[in-house]
A and B are shown apart, each in its own frame.
Chain A
């Protein structure tokens, strides 16, 4: 009793109370914006790869017709929002903070609004598999409607993890925005009826569901409760959460509802949660039950400088100018800033000529008196109010300090990448510092730095690897010649071998290394039964060797004068042992075959895969040599392996994926190199072009950042092809290994 009295109400950490300013737009009924003359559909309006256009200029398209198809796993289709003719496929200004152009499909509407036959649909979705349903969601082009625009089908893939709660997020926490409120008031039924679909996709028939709305959305809550009662669904809870910004942030809502935290760098899935916006839920329902792709959404058009603020059902691809016109147009002389999204996380648009996309929830036409002045910034007074409101419990004032001083590694150590860029810190700041801009700038710089480093590292590795290979080939050639001569001599004096066998004990490290390498090889081996038979044979041969070495070795543990000499000695002993045990046939014994195979593999392992025909030839050749010679060859290979494997064990990076594409020895060499390099260069110095940046205004920073982001996006588009063309698996593995090592270092640092 007393405990419940004093129990704090469930709430996320930090947060800030904002002026709501929602009554501007949520008083009016939902209105439908008229069909515009032209629709502009950007190809990339979601997180992930941009879609690929599948229509040509001049084509007539119908409403709901796919005009661009998702490219790759994380992508989404784009559909025509009305019927008309494709008049251009070209770069147009889009709703992006940078004001950059992006490829768009432009449709001149014929105003007939003719639609295609609906996609397969119906209420019998329970008979479909989870994958089929996700496929339908994907081909309906549905992405997160809360603003992030992450492809919904990807988010609904449980990937074998146990899900224990589904959260439908209607906690619209930004000032001004009321589109989710309006959606819940007008389409409560569709939201509630999406729940069985989600449950079926996630494979948990009775999955507990929480539909969360902010406590000021009373009418929406009532509508949802009524819809829930009508549906008869069980284990669904409609919950009102406190109206504190950023309550609607996925991580914050999860903390409020469950008390759990999404692990850093992880997903809600990692703690058994799936979170979807209620707008996404309604879209999923329409896609599955009515076969409608995502071609329209509710957009809040609001602000003191627009004639009729309210919520409008808008065709995707409509220009901002069109929907402002639908809302009665601008108030004369009033508009000071045009903002896409909310007043906290939205970005200012340069022009109203940009299209509404899937993630556009609000168009704010702000008058001068309702936006923050840009010239009131003061120095940071370290009051710590930013830290008080930070929902991630970061120290924004410290991050700002380091970001401003271009001390990016320090910002990173202060968990810069846990920042969700909600802007609560900047809103709380008495000095009016646009803090988030600095964090975005720092993040963009760090990403750029990492990309540069990875690129130059890969180039260097490639070069060094080549140098080493050339050198090794030379060396091996020489050695081969020498050994042939030595073997010739050895076959003439067989008794010499047994006399040196007393040194066998010294070969223990060699044996250990050989065993290690063999084990690694067994792991990495992807060949079938033939290979494993050889492995077995080799193991037997090794056993015999060991026996021979063990019997011939005396108690004295001689210090190896040189590992190679010892190995040769040992190998000779083994050879004699084999000779004495087996009948001396000239035909190959299984042991000899195995040795030949081992040699071949060792050569491959040394990085000579390109030369494998030669190696094979040599292996056959060797197989015809005397057992003693074979043994020497084998020992040499073993010694070489020992070297590499020893170095490898010194490397901290344990990289499993790399093993798939590389042989252990190659991997070891790479690792060793990486380790050496790391010790030589403790951190990546990157001082270029920094002084200039110190004097940049936030606006300039924003431009810089946007450019970096654009560059990144470009690169993301081009890398998969370029990477596969120019990067060998080895380089990829190097990069991966480095990433792992870096992660390990960071882990130690914390």
Chain B
């Protein structure tokens, strides 16, 4: 009898790229749910626009590059990129801006390097940074807690997203300065932290509303670690460095520097630590290297927030550390079995 041959191992595989990506999306669900509950329809609409754009743009690139379209659309990596990009954008963002961001993320962030697995930079952050520096006004418009069932309905959201019209609402009526932006502006105007706290929506722990979203992300992230979709080193290193560094600054001068809790639970630290910085393709792959990679991101976040021109620095921090990954990986190779200690 004759048989077909194939190389070992012959066991059915335990996991796959699409399974990994699906778990990642699943882990984002609690955060997205809390986000929508607190801030209204915007985020849900953005996610739909982002995912549709991603599917279309990815398919076009795959077709153009002569790659199997169905196989690669089915790996969900383009969806993950789009979702992470959307989560970084404000909940009220015009549709074209989202599509543009996704386009840049998938083109300049991924396909120019050869597609999945070859990109040196985190594609979602490439897309985000490009739209951030291109459209600063749109990206600094953060609405307050509109709620899913508040005055600002799904129709209002659609109208704003598609046509840019606010209807009866005014921009000032619904917008609210984010904590990090208020801190950034406030300190530059010479205000103390106490004065700033009166201006912006500080919540119980960090930024009002966003603190709960961050905690939901945290829950999802911990589940990912438990599922071994991501490893603990990068999130732990980021959170530890941000906490440590901001604590030192805060202890030195609490009127000029925000507390560690505000740092952790405002902006994108938790999202970044568990979901963005852990992007396997562009992150460090050695155990020790992941710690260094995470620590570098943590330091850069605090530096950019405290002294840089942007209120939040997660995207820049991640991209900057992406550059350092080959070097980190080179210098953090584990000791191989049987080699001297």
Contacts and interface: CB of A to CB of B under 8 A. Distances in A.
Interface residues of B, number: 43
A263 B338 contact: yes
Interface string A380-398: 1111110110011111011
Contacts of A376: 13, 16
Nearest to A394: B336
Nearest to A262: B338
A378 B17 contact: yes
Q: Which 9 A-B pairs have the closest CB atoms?
A: A379-B117, A384-B285, A383-B280, A264-B338, A348-B5, A392-B337, A423-B9, A393-B334, A338-B3
Which size bracket describes the interface of A in this complex? 35 or more
Interface in A249-263: 251, 255, 261-263
A374 interface: yes
A581 B12 CA distance: 92
19 contacts: A335-B3, A337-B3, A343-B11, A344-B8, A345-B8, A345-B9, A348-B4, A348-B5, A348-B7, A378-B17, A379-B116, A381-B17, A381-B116, A382-B117, A393-B336, A418-B338, A426-B8, A426-B9, A427-B14
Interface string B279-291: 0110101110000
A266 interface: yes
A398 B334 CA distance: 12
A255 B337 contact: yes
A393 B337 contact: yes
Interface string A420-441: 0001001111111010110000
Contacts of B20: 381, 383, 430
B13 A372 contact: yes
A348 B10 CA distance: 9
Contacts of B339: 263-264, 415, 418
Given A18-B11, A387-B334, A418-B336, 13 more contacts: A251-B338, A261-B337, A263-B338, A339-B10, A351-B1, A364-B10, A370-B11, A382-B281, A383-B20, A384-B231, A398-B329, A428-B14, A436-B9
A394 B338 CA distance: 11
A430 B338 contact: no
B1 A699 contact: no
Nearest to A421: B8
A336 B116 contact: no
Nearest to B116: A379
A554 B10 CA distance: 84
Nearest to B284: A384
B335 interface: yes
Contact of A370 (B12, B16, B75): B12
Contacts of A414: 333
B336 A346 contact: no
Interface string B101-122: 0000000000000011110000
A395 B9 CA distance: 18
Nearest to A330: B1
Contacts of B287: 387
Contacts of B5: 99, 337, 347-350, 699, 702
Contact of A337 (B4, B118, B228): B4
B333 A702 contact: no
B137 interface: no
Contacts of A436: 7-9
A41 B5 CA distance: 23
A72 interface: no
Interface of A: 13, 18-19, 99, 175, 251, 255, 261-266, 321, 330, 335-339, 343-352, 364, 366, 369-372, 374, 376, 378-385, 387-388, 391-395, 397-398, 414-415, 418, 423, 426-432, 434, 436-437, 698-699, 702
Contacts of A343: 8-11
Tell me the interface secondary structure of chain B in the complex: loop
B19 interface: yes
Contacts of B252: none
B15 interface: yes
Interface in B58-107: 71, 75, 77
The residue in A19, A99, A255, A379 that gathers the most chain B C-beta atoms within 10 A of its C-beta is: A379
The residue in B75, B231, B334 that gathers the most chain A C-beta atoms within 10 A of its C-beta is: B334
B204 interface: no
Given A430-B15, A436-B8, A437-B7, A395 B337 contact: no
Contacts of B115: 379
Interface string B324-341: 000001000111111110
Interface string B1-42: 111111111111111110110000000000000000000000
B1 A335 contact: yes
A621 B176 CA distance: 111
A389 B283 CA distance: 18
A388 B231 contact: yes
A467 to B, nearest CB: 43
Given A398-B329, A430-B19, A381 B8 contact: no
A137 B231 CA distance: 49
B12 A372 contact: yes
Nearest to B74: A378
Contacts of A429: 13
A175 B12 CA distance: 11
B280 A384 contact: yes
A466 B236 CA distance: 67
A378 B75 contact: yes
Contacts of B117: 378-382, 431
Contacts of B15: 385, 428, 430
A19 to B, nearest CB: 7
B110 to A, nearest CB: 11
Given A351-B2, A699-B6, A13 B337 contact: yes
Given A263-B338, A382-B281, A427-B13, A387 B6 contact: no
A148 to B, nearest CB: 15
Contact of A381 (B7, B11, B12, B280): B280
Contacts of A426: 8-9
Contacts of B17: 378, 381, 430-431
Given A378-B75, A381-B117, A350 B10 contact: no
Contacts of A393: 334-337
Contacts of A372: 6, 9-13
A262 B337 CA distance: 8
B198 to A, nearest CB: 46
A202 to B, nearest CB: 23
Contact of B11 (A175, A266, A335): A175
B114 to A, nearest CB: 8
B287 to A, nearest CB: 8
Contact of B8 (A346, A349, A387): A346
B285 A387 contact: yes
A387 B329 CA distance: 12
Nearest to A320: B1
Interface in B243-296: 280-281, 283, 285-287
Nearest to A252: B337
Contact of A432 (B13, B228, B335): B13
The residue in B4, B8, B329, B333 that gathers the most chain A C-beta atoms within 10 A of its C-beta is: B8
A382 B285 contact: yes
A380 B70 CA distance: 18
B7 A434 contact: yes
A349 B3 contact: yes
Nearest to B77: A381
Contact of B281 (A19, A371, A381): A381
A99 B117 CA distance: 34
Contacts of A382: 117, 280-281, 283, 285
A370 B231 CA distance: 29
B334 A395 contact: yes
